[in-house]
Structure formats: C-alpha cells, structure tokens
Amino acid sequence: MRKISSIGAAVVLTVATAGAVVTATAGPASAGCSHSHSNVDSKFGQLFNATNVNIRTGPHTTCASLGYGQLNHNVDFHCFGSGDRVTANGKTTYTWTYVRNVTTGVSGWVADALLDNLGGNVAC
C-alpha cells in the first residue's frame, strides 16, 4: 500500500500531452531534487501511458528533465517515493517512481500518474 503525503502547493502547471491533461502541483521551494533510491523493484515493461513523459532528477515538477519517455519505450522500475501532486489521465498521485528508460538509457523520477498501474510496487 502506498503512503500519500500532503505537500504545500506553490505552483500549479497544466500541460496537454497526447490527449491527456497533466496537472502538477509543486511542493515547497525548499524541496530538493536529490532523493535516495535503490533498484529493489523487479517490474519491467512498456509502461509510459503518455508521450513525452519527463524523466526528472527528483520527484518534483521543478526538478530538471533529463529526457522523455514514450509509449513504446521499455522501463525498468527501481522504487517509488513521495513527491509533488500530479494528475494525468484521470488519476492523481503524490508518488513518483525512479526508473531507467531501457530504450534511451535515461534514469530518473517519473510521476506515477504517467505510468501504467501507477508506477512501482516497492518503496525506496
């Protein structure tokens, strides 16, 4: 079972992506982009549920994007943790999963609302 934390809203961002509307609420300005993670989840597959999904340096919408995930990309899940609130495809989550995009080699954090089955299964 996932824990949902409340995070103070500082910024709200809405983006249209491949027919899906994504709304993100950023946490406090003090929220850093450096979060610990480990490869403890065995989940793997084609799991992005939108195009041009940001893979970020941390589980916050203000963290830099390292690259993008696409519908046809394979993903290796590592673990999940708490982050900014994100709504996409009719689902709202406060959890983010650290992934490695096997197709591009980019690793980072993705909001669980942008991953099939709401992301990883094992906490960081």
Q: Which of 89, 91, 73, 94 is nearest to 25 (CA)?
A: 94
Alpha-carbon span 110 to 94, nearest angstrom: 11
pLDDT given for residue 49 in this prediction: 84
**Residue-level pLDDT, tens digit, the chain, 124 residues:** 343 433 333 333 333 344 444 544 444 443 589 888 888 888 887 778 889 999 999 999 999 999 999 999 999 999 999 999 999 888 999 999 999 999 999 999 999 999 988 888 899 9
Rounded to two decimals, the pTM is: 0.74
* Tokens of residue 54, six digits: 């940001």
pLDDT given for residue 33 in this prediction: 92
Give the domain ranges of the chain.
Answer: 36-118
Cα torsion 77, 49, 64, 83: sign: negative
pLDDT given for residue 1 in this prediction: 39
Q: What 3-state class would DSSP assign to 15? A: strand
pLDDT given for residue 25 in this prediction: 46
Whether 53 contacts 69, CB under 8 Å: yes
Whether 45 contacts 115, CB under 8 Å: no
Alpha-carbon span 51 to 8, nearest angstrom: 28
DSSP conformational letter for 115: B
The residue type at 58: G
pLDDT given for residue 7 in this prediction: 33
Q: State the fold for domain 36-118.
A: SH3 type barrels. (2.30.30)
The DSSP bridge partners found for residue 48 are: 115
